[in-house]
A = this chain, B = another copy of it.
């Protein structure tokens, strides 16, 4: 049932936001020195930089650029804002290609001023609109279902089942899903939806962290693997049973950890990755 412990770091990817106090150059240097093999780049870290050269810098550190985070936020009751979102997603696709990654994570968005059904339709239409550019650029789009507590403004796609439905409807090798244990752990259908996702070659990414008990902030209180109540290893076993051979991406937003020395935090991540993931 349970997956084997992760005794080496060959599939460890860390999101730049996880060590938010570090800029991308510092993160790259320290991740690489620690033996981390993958990085997911949040777009804010590219600000004011030559994106192609930043990609080269990451590759020089022997880091695989697993994905660019994030596109999405398609829905709005305001058509001008929907158009702006499409433009921003096109820009994200260009940035991904320049950076040299073949994947963008989509935080799909939701507008509380309209129905969830309308938001979902606008998400589907938005992805369909930018799909030709994504395909031309060789960039895959990973729909990330978010926890239902973000259904008001962050995503109208709140279960892996919904993300699978949408990926199947869009029916392209360039559309799949990103499964994050933080958003999905509570779902009784999780194992079956991971299976379905894998069977359809839609499982593009796997994100890990933990759910703190209690959780004190809606956004910035994620835990390190093993600190909370998510059965990370069990979920990883379901992911690996599909044949998934991608990275285990550590994505932690935490005011607590960001206030610590980031070298010490990185050591904690390595330990939690090997012992609790």
With beta carbons under 8 angstroms apart, the residue of B158, B185, B188, B218 that contacts A186 is B158
State in angstroms the CA–CA spacing of A11 and B186 once bound together: 34
A8 interfacial by beta-carbon distance below 8 Å: no
Given contacts A112-B229, A228-B112, A231-B115, contact A153 B188 (CB under 8 A): no
A214 interfacial by beta-carbon distance below 8 Å: yes
State in angstroms the CA–CA spacing of A120 and B149 once bound together: 21
Query: Contact between B116 and A188 (Cβ–Cβ < 8 Å)?
Result: yes
With beta carbons under 8 angstroms apart, the residue of B152, B158, B211, B229 that contacts A229 is B152
Enumerate A188-243 residues with CB–CB distance to B below 8 Å. 188, 211, 213-215, 218, 228-229, 231
Query: Contact between B112 and A148 (Cβ–Cβ < 8 Å)?
Result: no
State in angstroms the CA–CA spacing of A116 and B218 once bound together: 21
Most chain B CB inside 10 Å of its own CB: which residue of A112, A115, A158 = A112
Query: Contact between A152 and B213 (Cβ–Cβ < 8 Å)?
Result: yes
Output the least CB separation between A148 and chain B (Å). Answer: 4
A115: chain B residues at CB < 8 Å are: 231
Q: What secondary structure prevails in chain A residues at the interface with B?
A: loop
A162 interfacial by beta-carbon distance below 8 Å: yes
Q: Of all chain B residues, which has the CB nearest A218?
A: B215
Q: Of all chain B residues, which has the CB nearest A111?
A: B229
Output the least CB separation between A233 and chain B (Å). Answer: 12
Output the least CB separation between A216 and chain B (Å). Answer: 8
State in angstroms the CA–CA spacing of A161 and B112 once bound together: 24
Given contacts A116-B188, A158-B186, A186-B116, contact A152 B231 (CB under 8 A): no
State in angstroms the CA–CA spacing of A275 and B228 once bound together: 42
Output the least CB separation between A86 and chain B (Å). Answer: 23
State in angstroms the CA–CA spacing of A187 and B113 once bound together: 17
Question: 9 other contacts beyond A148-B187, A153-B214, A214-B218, with CB at 8 A cut-off?
Answer: A113-B229, A147-B148, A148-B148, A149-B149, A151-B185, A152-B228, A153-B213, A158-B186, A215-B218
27 A–B pairs (Cβ distance < 8 Å), ordered by A? A112-B228, A112-B229, A113-B229, A115-B231, A116-B186, A120-B188, A147-B148, A147-B149, A148-B149, A148-B186, A148-B187, A149-B149, A149-B215, A151-B185, A151-B186, A152-B211, A152-B214, A152-B215, A152-B229, A153-B213, A153-B214, A158-B186, A158-B187, A159-B188, A162-B188, A215-B218, A218-B218
